[in-house]
Amino acid sequence: MGQPLTLVAADSHRLGAYRADPAGKPRGGVVVVQEIFGVNHHIRAVCDRIAEAGYAALAPALFDRTARDFQSGYSPEEVAKARKFIETPDWDAMLRDTAAAAEELKGLGSVAVIGFCMGGTIAFLSATRLAGIAAAVCYYGGGIARFADETPKCPTQMHFGEKDDHIPMSAVEEIRRKRPDCEIHVYQGAGHGFHCDERASYHAESAALAWKRSLAFLEKAIGKG
C-alpha cells in the first residue's frame, strides 16, 4: 500500500520514510514512530493499518543519521544489535526528524503522532516539545517516566503492559501521578511489545483493545477535521 520517500529535517539532514495513504481523502495525518528495530515490516504494517482507517501515515527512519535504512527482526542477536542505537539517544535529533514527518503531513489537516517503545517516548516528547501536534499515542514508552514532569500540549494517550519487563508498574504509577492530564491504560497479562504480532511477546487480546482505543482517540482528536 505504501511507498518510500525522503524527508528533510530542520538541520538539512535527509532521511528516509515510509508513507501509506488512504483510498479516499485523508482525515488527517499520523506520524508513526519506530521501535529500535527501524522502519521494518511491522512499522510499515502499522502505517498501512492507519491508512485503512482513513489517515495518511508516515514513518520517518530515525536511525538514518547513524545507519541508513536500518531494519531489524526480533531474534536475540538482532535485538542486541538494535539496542546499540539507543545507548546514548539523541532525543533532539529524533524529534527534528519526527517534526519533518509532521511537516510533510500538515497540508492534510491535523497531525497526530503514534509511537512504540522508543517511539512511544518520542511520541510523548512530541506532545510536550513540538508545535502543531494535535494528539499523541504512546505504546510502552520506556523513557516517559524520565520526562513525566513535562506537560503535553495536546491530548495524550498511553498504553502499558502489566508484565512489561522493561517498564515496572512503579514507573507507570509515577507517570499517572505526574500526568493526570493523560489517558493511561494498563493491560493485564501483557508484556513489552505486546502490540507487535511478529514478536513472541504479542498479546492478541491486549493489542486488539489498545488499537481500538487508539483509533477512537485519533477519531476524537483529529478524525473529524
Interhelix angle 91-105/118-129, rounded to 10 degrees, is: 70
Burial of 107 (0-12, 13-18, 19+ CB in 10 A): exposed
Instruction: With beta carbons less than 8 A apart as the criterion, state whether 111 and 222 touch.
Output: yes
Instruction: With beta carbons less than 8 A apart as the criterion, state whether 97 and 15 touch.
Output: yes
Exactly one of 192, 195, 196, 203 is catalytic; which is it? Answer: 192
Residue 164 among the catalytic residues = yes
Exactly one of 164, 182, 196, 203 is catalytic; which is it? Answer: 164
Residue 203 among the catalytic residues = no
Exactly one of 117, 154, 182, 196 is catalytic; which is it? Answer: 117
Which H or E element spans position 214?
helix 204-221
Sign of CA dihedral 172, 152, 184, 90: negative
Residue 41 among the catalytic residues = no
Q: Looking at the annotation, which residues are catalytic?
A: 117, 164, 192
